[in-house]
Structure 1
Amino acid sequence: MISLSLPVSIIASFFLMQQFGITLNVMSLGGIALATGMVVDNAIVVLENIKRLRDQGMAVLEATVQGTSEVGMAITASTLTHIAVFLPLVFVQGISGQLFRDQALTVTFAMLISLFVAITLIPMLASLEGRSQARFKDDQSLYRGRSERGWVVRSLLTVGGILLVPFKLIFHLIAPIFKGSADVVGGLFDRLARFYDAILRFSLKNPASVIVVALVALLSASLLVPRLGFELIPEFAQNRLQVDLKFAPGTPLVKTDQQIAAIQALGKDNASVESLYAVSGTGTRLDANPTEAGENVGRLTIQLKTGASRADEPQVIDAFRAFTSQLPGLEAKFGRPQLFSFDTPLEIEIAGDDLDALKQSSGAILRKLRADQMFSDVKSTLEQGAPEVRIYFDQEKVAALGLSVRQVADQVVRNIRGEVATRYSLRDRKIDVLVRAQSLDRDSLDAVRRLVINPESERASSLESVARIVVTEGPAEIRRSNQERVAVISASANGVDLAEAALRAEQIIASETLPIGQNARVAGQSADMQASYQSLLIALALAIFLVYLVMASQFESLLHPFLILFSVPLALVGAVYALWLTRTTVSVIVFIGLIMLVGIVVSNAIVLIDRVNQLRAQGVGKFDALLQGGSTRLRPIVMTTLTTLVGFLPMALGVGEGAELRAPLAITVVGGLMFSTLLTLLLVPVLYYLIDRSPDRVNRIA
């Protein structure tokens, strides 16, 4: 019966997804995978409570009604806490919100439907167990006679029976296996229950020991946090690398292609490389953007072999980097094709009005970054300028010819770049007809100097007769931030996480004395990471607050929800341990897992405290109520925890494509849930025993 809640909840959630415009994509399917282990939790709690009452001798219908009523409010509060955790993710700003909106809504839909299934379908099926099958009277049979309706019903029942035959055969084959394993698991659980009863009794009599263990765990985890790496998004292993190449400005296309061909030949001798694709030069000398295109730029795509591992990528990068570093005037930037649009991993923006002073300041910081082994692919927007021809007009000489500077400049542009004179119609197309000087009259500096600026005059005059023409180097690009000119130094982290590289960059900036009027700051992905972390911290705090409100309305108390929230820091402790053991860096994916943990871990404590309150309302003393509540709720807590862990385990193992995006979240949830469950079963009852001062019902009556 429990297994029915899974397909019903998942399939029914597709309808709500369609209503909210959510498509089946990687993130929404990931939400379904996350919900797989959680949608059965409510059904487990309901069915286990019904079974417990039936084992005590209660009738089927009475056990079903009372069993569902006892846990109805608890599972409702538990489901609402899950929803309260996931809904804030919809409003998170930045890359986190873009990534996890579909996932959060998908899990929310599945959890809502699972609650409806747990309080309707599961009790109905449980009430049918052991009862005789209801039969229709002969005169009311839907398929009696040979009417068209009866024939259709008989056909459907026959087809349904045929389709169920394979499932019945499979069930009869595996039933003995499951029966044997169930007996073994049942015996193990009985031992676990006796052990838990003994250790809970000891903990209630010696609360200081449990509190000390929890504090030591919390302190040790806080000491491990600085050792965890921090980054924005984990890098994806795509078996593909990308190298952006930029040669010295003015390098002709032929030479660029020769150099790239030499680099490309290096990959033929590498055992990890399957193929290489190269593009030499983009655009033309006259219309290209020098920062993004031109004859001196190229791109090399390296396709690794299918069996290549993540560890092979640094080796391939090091081999190509060692070769490209020997080529003079070459800038090479290594990376992976980006699935998401991100800034450069690390950027330093130096703002100021004086371009020459900016060059000096950026050059000093650039040299320090390149000397530090923590950075790679370091380059500056002011390091290499684009060659340009500057024309300084002598206004008196231009005026003596009866012309204006504007007229002469327009004539130069028409000769070099050209002008659309007319359009040629070819079928339904319009083709521009560009008129400009022939190639011999514009392909060299001398030819430009000899350009005739007054072709209509009887006495032709050249450009050099009225202007001074010089070749110089201009800025490759001019960037502005907040209406200030900035020089941008970009770099990648080499062997360290992004947070450590950003901290080192700030230290380098602090060690450099900048002129008056200049300021520098760290930007790029590191700034995006800080903004995302701040947004997620707000979402985490909001999730905890909403969970507290839900529990406060459920228990009609401010104290009991506060006690339950003590399971949250225990979950964070377990998550830190799991991240440290698996060497997983902290990213926005991990933060999403932490937010999810808030809703997951409080569910166990809600079920436990709700049962304790029920027992105390029946007149059971506080000490005995904690013992009985822990014993009766141990099975559903363990079962729901195991189902959630099993649901997250394939993701935590990093199986399949895109595992880098799913594994950190699953590792966070698995580690936090395991550790929190172990201590929640002890710490929450101990804190309840120490802090709750409400008198027992027996004492109140007396």
Structure 2
Amino acid sequence: MKIVNTSVKRPVGVIMIVLAIIALGVVSLRSLTIDLFPKIDLPVAVVATSYQDAAPEEVENLVSRPIESAVSTVEGIETVQSQSQAGSSLVVMMFSNGTDLDQALLDVRESIDQVSGMMPDQANDPRIMRFNPDQLPVMWVGLTGENTAALTEIADEQVVPLIERQGGVGSVTVEGSKEREIQLILDQESMQQYGVTAQTIAQSLGSTNQAASVGTVEQGNKDLQLRITGQFESIEDIEKTIVQTQSGGTVHVEDLAQVEDSFKEESSTTLVNGNPSVVLSILKKTDSNTVDVATNVENSLQDIRDNLPEGVGLDVIIDTSEFIQMSIDSVVQNILIGGVISIFILLLFLKSVRATLVIGLSIPIAIIATFTLMYFTGETLNILTLGGLALGLGMMVDSSIVILEHIYSYRKQGYSLVESATKGASELAPAVIASTTTTLVVFLPIVYVEGIASDLFTPLALAVSFSLIASLIVAVTLVPMLSSKLLSKAMEDNGRRYWFDRFLGWLNNKYRSVLKWVLGHRKTSITASVLAIVASLGLIPFIGAEFIPSADQGQIEIQVETELGSTLEHTESIVEQVNEQLTEFESSIETNYVSIGGGSGMGGGVGGGSGNTATYTMQLIPSEERETSTTEIVQDMDEALQGIAGAEITVNSMESGMSAGSPIQIQLNGPEHEVLADLSEQVVNEISNVNGVYNPETSASEGIPQMNIVVDKERAAMYGLTQEQVTGQIQLQFTGQVATQYREAGQEMDVTMLYPENERSSISDLQDTKIQTPSGSVIPLEEVADFESMQGPAALLRENQQPQMNITSEIVDRDLGSVVADVETALEEMNLPEGYNYSIGGEAEDMAQSFSDLAIALVFSIFLVYAVMAIQFENFLFPLIIMFAMPTTVVGVLLGLFVAGIPLSIPAFIGIIMLAGIVVNNSIVLVDYINILRRNGMDRHEAILEAGPSRLRPILMTTLTTILAMVPLALALGEGAETQQPLAVTIIFGLGVSSLFTLLLIPVVYTLFDDLTAKITRRRKKKA
């Protein structure tokens, strides 16, 4: 090939190009975004709406349903889900893959605008958002100390502004802070004495606290702006505000209420390692590097710590970049170990440091070139793309080995170095390109794969493809050039490693004897192969299936739920008991962050938390520093906490994964929420008996205790009152009312009117609530209203405009596929009422969909491999012979997964697809050489017995370098390696076993097809 001649004759040019690639690769590596997993493309949009003080039923009927109906007609929507809870509505829209989400969001906005006028006046405008899984905090930082108010001020004034200025930081959210407000504690007796209502006070405060421009006047040749400044400048100004009485007199606010500079009532509390704290969650910008952002923030924190008051601590609670960095480091370490192993194998076979150096250089150059290509294609540096490099490491040298072997053969025939390099590389370059192409084409069907499988498969496929293309270019350019300069004394037989040559000689003789036997017992060989394949299929029930192996990230979440309606103080008392039980696990816990009444500590649930819930988020010490796994610690914690009375406590691990749902998620649908709630309890009881099901939960709850106030409109009208007036006065009594705003030192705070707490804390206070009539008289609320105690739902769920109830469960000690099969059996035995049905979602659904997509990709990959070989051989028969190596990979794959105790998963499935392109390479080498010998006049039997042993050495070299380079990944060494382990195990065992079958079965199949061809040819001749 001309490119080979050019590279040999112009070595300086090749070296300069290589140096340029290395420089560009180094720059690209520094610019690549580092993350744990590739970016997940989820076409999901969210519409969030708040409806203050509304019950879930009202939110569902007046807000959620109109939004559902409006957006259901938007093109591309597959599923619409809604969650209606007290005061808020959340509608989630899932679009089909490939939908233009930007256009879809515009369509959603237009649809909602058409129904927004039908919503209640108290409902806020809907917020339409794109759901982005990347928008989760990268770090949580805790400010600890005794005074929460002081911590809030430090956070707002010092910490947040500094962090937000750091490179890559998107936003900072503060949780557990105290919000300052000016409270007016109303005195009902004084208000009645002066004949003043709360509305009168609010109007006076609002009209007084104003600044306005009232025009201009001339002063000489200038216009003066006239401005009235009446805004409050001090608390005393609020106290001295004049209020008009009904009789025409005036009083001051301080005569009607006690003015206090205080804080809003706490609805949540946060503790870090048991200490009161303010927690800051830090989000990065979309395209920012997680590790860089975390490093920038960590560096900035040291500057803040030096200026903090005594007794105030500032510590990182959870840093997601630590696990990412450890995972990346472990993969890089495995790449280095695999590279060293590959070099050792080459040195063992080639017996020359120079020859090993020539081939070994293809590894770093291919890797560096891959970084460049990854940068320009927008891929991130994550454990999957780096895992792809580690997996392709052994394959990178295959092309170089074949080229070098052929160059050496010419050198032994007496050709000069330049002639040997030119002729040897030129002759085999087309075959090497074809061989590499069979490995590359298996990745083309990725266009047919969608969803999470595509998000996983595409970056890994690109990484492997880039590395193989780069190594191929190195093999046909750099290797011939270096061979022409460095191999003058290479590979000369000088007695070194004679023991290994004797071993190869012995192995060749043994192989020749076995090959001769199988050729003489073809039926027995074929039967034995088929039986091996069938027997391996019997291992399937013992292997099982799972979605994606989860890495031990060392994060645990504990959910504490007391009785609905419980006060924050009661929940805090339960949390204290939990803390006592957790002391026995202190040696394994690095940080312990609990949010009481504030939702999930890892980002919170939409709609916030409630006073009866508490969420622990724990970061354990690295897995290498503890003897027990996260799953084992979770089970021990769960057992220790079950003895705490008065709360339902669940403990789950937060292992890294790529699925947005729980392992098992059962969705019940039907016309009535109440019936679904009962059915969900039955489902929980049924699946609790399934082995492997852990902590099953239903979204149904016992209901929130509530008091319905039914205003008697007739009686209210007798006093000149409307229902709206009565409702307004009740809200003022029990929730307060913001009258105006007060600004001080650049801060703006609410001025809120409240009644004393002892007048709004009991049912008797509610019944005795003083309702002021238009005439000025005061009556108790019970005069115009009736009271009904009942249980109200905590939240109402709907899917595709039908009521829904969800049951979720974690799994332990069993694979997902087996547990799902048993759960489905249990559900089928239940007799659901007519109109009610169930479906299984979560990871189980993602797994089924991904396996289906990957199966289609596998079929297309096999076809493409056959097509490439047919083009290479210009024959339809020889590729068919070679393809017989593929079924034998089943034996190796299933045996490997069984021995390693690993279920079939997406990474393992991707390994099977890669094997379709890898295992045929050895067969190509063997069959191609048999054909060459036969064309040279050798008998078929002798050609096979000659080709097999002569090709054993290069087959062993390429197979061993590929397999042994992946051993570190298969052993799951280091953090986060669990994700790549199934892929490595699949290829190691699949390639290893198929190589044995290739050396023995393919020659037998070759003879059978050759006999069949000869028989068909003879029949045609006779007919002719």
Question: CA shift at 1:453, angstroms?
Answer: 4.6
Matched, 1:210 2:567: no
Aligned to 2:611: 295
Matched, 1:243 2:530: no
Separation of aligned partners in 2, 1:52 and 1:208: 37
- Which amino acid in structure 2 is aligned with residue 294 of structure 1? S
* Contact 2:721–2:773 (CA under 8 A) maintained in structure 1: no
Question: CA shift at 1:65, angstroms?
Answer: 3.7
Over residues 316-363 of structure 1, what are the superposed CA-to-partner deviations in whole Å (9 max), with x where a residue is unaligned?
A: 333322233233453323222243453112122211112222222222
Over residues 103-146 of structure 1, what are the superposed CA-to-partner deviations in whole Å (9 max), with x where a residue is unaligned?
A: 221111111111111112212222335669xxxxxxxxxxxxxx
Matched, 1:484 2:799: no
Task: After superposing the two structures, state which structure 1 stretch, 639-648 or 346-355, moved more.
Answer: 346-355
- Which amino acid in structure 1 is aligned with residue 570 of structure 2? K
Task: After superposing the two structures, state which structure 1 stretch, 68-77 or 448-457, moved more.
Answer: 448-457
Separation of aligned partners in 2, 1:432 and 1:549: 74
Separation of aligned partners in 2, 1:52 and 1:483: 74
Over residues 357-384 of structure 1, what are the superposed CA-to-partner deviations in whole Å (9 max), with x where a residue is unaligned?
A: 2222222222223344542212211133
Larger RCO of the pair (alpha carbons < 8 Å, separation 6+): 1
Cα distance change on mapping 1:444 and 1:77 into 2, 3 Å? farther
SS of the equivalent of 2:984 reads helix
- Which amino acid in structure 1 is aligned with residue 407 of structure 2? I
Separation of aligned partners in 1, 2:507 and 2:893: 25
Aligned to 1:221: 536
SS of the equivalent of 1:21 reads coil
Question: CA shift at 1:434, angstroms?
Answer: 4.2
- Residues 639-678 of structure 1: matches in 2 within 5 Å? 639-678=957-996
Aligned to 2:506: 191
Separation of aligned partners in 1, 2:449 and 2:973: 28
Separation of aligned partners in 2, 1:180 and 1:257: 79
- Structure-1-length-normalised TM-score: 0.85
Aligned to 1:231: 546
Aligned to 1:77: 434
- Which amino acid in structure 1 is aligned with residue 557 of structure 2? Q
Over residues 564-597 of structure 1, what are the superposed CA-to-partner deviations in whole Å (9 max), with x where a residue is unaligned?
A: 2222221221011011011111211211211221
* Contact 1:273–1:302 (CA under 8 A) maintained in structure 2: no
Over residues 1-43 of structure 1, what are the superposed CA-to-partner deviations in whole Å (9 max), with x where a residue is unaligned?
A: 1111112211122221221122333222222222221111100
Aligned to 1:41: 398
Matched, 1:2 2:355: no
* Contact 1:87–1:105 (CA under 8 A) maintained in structure 2: no
Matched, 1:331 2:657: no
- Which amino acid in structure 2 is aligned with residue 9 of structure 1? A
Matched, 1:622 2:940: yes
SS of the equivalent of 1:585 reads coil
SS of the equivalent of 1:392 reads strand
- Which amino acid in structure 1 is aligned with residue 525 of structure 2? V
* Contact 2:384–2:980 (CA under 8 A) maintained in structure 1: no
Separation of aligned partners in 2, 1:292 and 1:565: 58
SS of the equivalent of 1:327 reads coil
Matched, 1:316 2:633: yes
Aligned to 1:257: 572
- Which amino acid in structure 2 is aligned with residue 585 of structure 1? P
Over residues 440-487 of structure 1, what are the superposed CA-to-partner deviations in whole Å (9 max), with x where a residue is unaligned?
A: 443333333333454644223443333322332222221112221111
Aligned to 1:125: 482
Task: After superposing the two structures, state which structure 1 stretch, 645-654 or 502-511, moved more.
Answer: 502-511
- Residues 369-408 of structure 1: matches in 2 within 5 Å? 369-408=687-726
Separation of aligned partners in 1, 2:698 and 2:677: 9
Q: What is the percentage of aligned positions where both structures have the same residue?
A: 34
Separation of aligned partners in 1, 2:705 and 2:868: 66
**Residue 11 of structure 1, aligned match among 368, 374, 383:** 368
**Residue 518 of structure 1, aligned match among 825, 831, 836:** 836
- Residues 284-683 of structure 1: matches in 2 within 5 Å? 293-304=609-620, 309=626, 311-340=628-657, 341-426=659-744, 430-454=748-772, 456-683=774-1001
SS of the equivalent of 2:432 reads helix
* Contact 1:239–1:308 (CA under 8 A) maintained in structure 2: no
Cα distance change on mapping 1:205 and 1:438 into 2, 3 Å? same
Aligned to 2:254: none
* Contact 1:601–1:677 (CA under 8 A) maintained in structure 2: yes
SS of the equivalent of 2:559 reads strand
SS of the equivalent of 1:377 reads strand
Runs of at least 5 residues in structure 2 that lack an aligned partner in the other structure: 1-357, 1019-1024
* Contact 1:346–1:526 (CA under 8 A) maintained in structure 2: yes
* Contact 1:193–1:631 (CA under 8 A) maintained in structure 2: yes
* Contact 2:391–2:966 (CA under 8 A) maintained in structure 1: yes
SS of the equivalent of 2:365 reads helix
Separation of aligned partners in 2, 1:45 and 1:448: 89
SS of the equivalent of 2:926 reads helix
Aligned to 1:25: 382
Separation of aligned partners in 2, 1:544 and 1:10: 27
Separation of aligned partners in 1, 2:429 and 2:576: 70
Matched, 1:64 2:421: yes
- Which amino acid in structure 2 is aligned with residue 195 of structure 1? K
Separation of aligned partners in 1, 2:481 and 2:1013: 37
Separation of aligned partners in 2, 1:295 and 1:672: 55
Runs of at least 5 residues in structure 1 that lack an aligned partner in the other structure: 133-170
Separation of aligned partners in 1, 2:805 and 2:496: 68
SS of the equivalent of 1:566 reads helix
- Structure-2-length-normalised TM-score: 0.60
Question: CA shift at 1:675, angstroms?
Answer: 0.4
Cα distance change on mapping 1:405 and 1:544 into 2, 3 Å? farther
Separation of aligned partners in 2, 1:428 and 1:290: 30
Task: After superposing the two structures, state which structure 1 stretch, 482-491 or 123-132, moved more.
Answer: 123-132
SS of the equivalent of 2:395 reads coil
* Contact 1:218–1:573 (CA under 8 A) maintained in structure 2: yes
Cα distance change on mapping 1:326 and 1:275 into 2, 3 Å? same
SS of the equivalent of 1:382 reads coil
Separation of aligned partners in 1, 2:756 and 2:625: 53
Aligned to 1:103: 460
* Contact 1:348–1:488 (CA under 8 A) maintained in structure 2: yes
Question: CA shift at 1:53, angstroms?
Answer: 3.6
SS of the equivalent of 2:894 reads helix
SS of the equivalent of 1:654 reads coil
Separation of aligned partners in 1, 2:809 and 2:448: 32
* Contact 2:550–2:656 (CA under 8 A) maintained in structure 1: no
Aligned to 1:145: none
**Residue 86 of structure 1, aligned match among 437, 443, 460:** 443
SS of the equivalent of 1:478 reads strand
* Contact 2:719–2:773 (CA under 8 A) maintained in structure 1: no
Separation of aligned partners in 1, 2:770 and 2:605: 28
Aligned to 1:160: none
* Contact 2:550–2:655 (CA under 8 A) maintained in structure 1: no
Question: CA shift at 1:196, angstroms?
Answer: 1.9
Question: CA shift at 1:305, angstroms?
Answer: 5.1
SS of the equivalent of 1:391 reads strand
Question: CA shift at 1:492, angstroms?
Answer: 1.9
Cα distance change on mapping 1:292 and 1:492 into 2, 3 Å? farther
Separation of aligned partners in 1, 2:841 and 2:653: 20
Question: CA shift at 1:71, angstroms?
Answer: 2.6
